[in-house]
Chain A
């Protein structure tokens, strides 16, 4: 018979005990988090109070930069960012909830198309969606060439309506992933309980929405933070004369000379406070309630068979959404990529594939795509590992300081505009202190990838929180009492149970990194231009055809990676993993 294994009380065992309590895998996790996330954020933000700390001014402690940030020009742009964040997060989450219900709970035919389209939408950065709309409606754009001019649509596009619209489109897939993952784990017995107790379909939907509150709030928090910190839409549609948002004014401040980093840090802190508000609202809404609904007793759901009218409405809703979110930008990008001479004064436009051939042949256009694909592969893998641990910590029932600390910094990193985050990295890793200790990271590919990981971590973590929240604690406890240590419990129980959401998170991060713009622009090492920089350079050189052809190539390559990843999962994953959350037809 096996015995209890005692811990022997020797010097060695005591030393081991000390190491176990002081240096565990979690210590390494925290070291990584502090290095890539906390340190750059804190160092940069501290410049707002203490410019002298990083040689940005004579004072050790001052509020001068906040006074400068209180200028009506900056305040107005911050207010605009807040409004855009609120509008887009609520709209995106509401739309995503409806879409998730249609896709996961009904037999709507459009659901299959949506499952493919979601990743296209995810991987298209906001600046590409905005560019697609611009290419169509701008003066001398695609419609103009076709002889159609719609100035009122153009006016709406370059203003709050256009910004809120693109931010909402961009937010939908984030909210959808979070909500759909949570909905998959939600058995249908809760809805059935409503129906058998006299509730209507709407009442059942309301009950389902209530049980999905953690995911809904996560969706709102992610989209709000993403919208507030978004630079892509701001770079295309925001302008001082019309509707300027905070990231645009920040960009202007960084690009204008002399650069006032303390002022940028002060604006960033104000943006962070807005994120804290979102976090506070999320915590308040969920406090003291349990939403653990996923267990061994959860049964697969059965899809609702839609009536004819229902099916038409559901399909119209999904296809309509796909047309405005993807169809128009894709049409804009593809048509622009096939027009020779778009963006130049050449009047004789031609339709052909020359731009694509140029991208394949020219190393200048091809190399950024390959470089970004490699960086995205590493980033997605590392970020998903860190995000799995982070999300487990965030849903832990132990409400320790570590959890709050992680929660704050993860959300802070979402709220921090990428451009500011990149500057934080320069501050942190170009310090004489880090140089003295041999950390020569500044200007290297390693620093760029670390920054990618750090910026990807918050959204990847948030996308997993909904699933982790559903994970019954007793499943891992059962594993421990039946003979598995913590690591084996993770590998054999936790990871398989969240394997599909993990794969989704990996694809999300891969796509997001492939076309990342602000960090790439600030931190790219010489000779290694990432894709977004390559596209930006091409557009900057008025090579609209070459730039948009690169966009199209990038999106197709990302779609192939996503298809291969899910294809391999379907082929190689054990049956038990795949059946979790699967609905019966």
Chain B
């Protein structure tokens, strides 16, 4: 079992011309922790992970790995001296080396004997379920197998820090789910600190010990997955971590944590995390889990079913209310398209934020 790096990132800045890819970003990842950075394209998450790897040089700020500062003036600690490994989005398997040789390559820095090295590669291949594919070249492997080789290459040398650059984005849903579990268990098995970047919120919530939501080169919120979901600090975080829809209204009554929002003819009881005033215009962000077709709720809106999707354990519906569309409304039974229905809104799972000036 390995001791992972303590990773400290302090006020890091990185510009590409006039564009700030990282804008004074700070983050700490405890040893052995699995941190997921969640953000849209262009938010700076790739730049951050590449800066940690030493592939990019930051313009200002500090990066510490295991209390050692790895950026020092114009010369950084070279990537090969940072004791880390990385799984790339395009896998970056070397096409002239077989799967075995690709994995073995990452072991060379450990300067092990040939026998031990061979055993370790075989173990790594076995761990990712490719013990019979060692002699195959990358082009002879499927996408999922290629990604597994990349994963085996990353873990074989027991690095102290594992970096994942959207490694599952090129795979189909089923394979993604299976590999997600493999990444999660293998990383925790070797005890490395992990930083995983993705734009997929379901992947982030499934993998992370902690999640950081990044936007425009800044961290919006870093917290436990549950906290991020239940108590998003702002509308960007709420929006990016999954909502069924947004309804706009005016605050009618406010208490410490909840308020009544008038949507027009209807009223909704919702939560708020920032101070609101009576009469203020607000957007109500509704999580998919807040919606249901239960009949015993007071917090209900009339709606029409516009679409239905079978999800195995039940059905997800898209509905149209007088105030906007909500998607992902789950029910064990199906409701026909065009049917009129009342949708219940759980006040704990919808949050009001002041409407932003357009």
A contacts, CB < 8 Å to B: 1-7, 17, 20-21, 294-300, 472, 474-475, 477-486, 492-493, 496-497, 574, 576-577, 579-580
Contacts and interface: CB of A to CB of B under 8 A. Distances in A.
A7 B54 contact: no
A576 B106 contact: no
B157 A295 contact: no
Interface in B40-96: 50, 53-55, 65-66, 68-70, 72-75, 77-86, 88-96
B75 A7 contact: yes
A1 B95 contact: no
Contacts of B98: 576
Given A17-B73, A482-B85, A484-B80, A2 B109 contact: yes
A580 B79 contact: no
B7 to A, nearest CB: 11
B90 A472 contact: yes
Contacts, number: 140
A480 B80 contact: yes
B146 interface: yes
Contact of B54 (A294, A480, A493): A480
B5 interface: yes
B95 A296 contact: yes
B169 interface: no
Contacts of A1: 2-3, 83, 158, 160
B88 A478 contact: yes
B232 interface: no
Nearest to A486: B78
A492 B95 CA distance: 12
A576 B97 CA distance: 6
Contacts of B137: 576, 579
A477 B92 contact: yes
Contacts of B75: 7, 17, 20-21
Contacts of B95: 294-296, 298, 497, 576, 580
A439 to B, nearest CB: 33
B85 A296 contact: no
A6 B139 contact: no
B143 to A, nearest CB: 8
Contacts of B106: 482-483
Contact of B96 (A17, A478, A496): A496
A274 to B, nearest CB: 32
Nearest to B139: A299
B163 interface: yes
A485 to B, nearest CB: 5
Nearest to A492: B105
A297 B139 contact: yes
Contact of A296 (B66, B92, B110): B92
A481 B86 contact: yes
A480 B76 CA distance: 13
Contact of A477 (B2, B55, B101): B55
A471 to B, nearest CB: 10
Nearest to B156: A482
Given A1-B3, A475-B92, A478-B94, A485 B78 contact: yes
A577 to B, nearest CB: 5
B138 to A, nearest CB: 4
A4 B6 CA distance: 11
Contacts of A300: 139
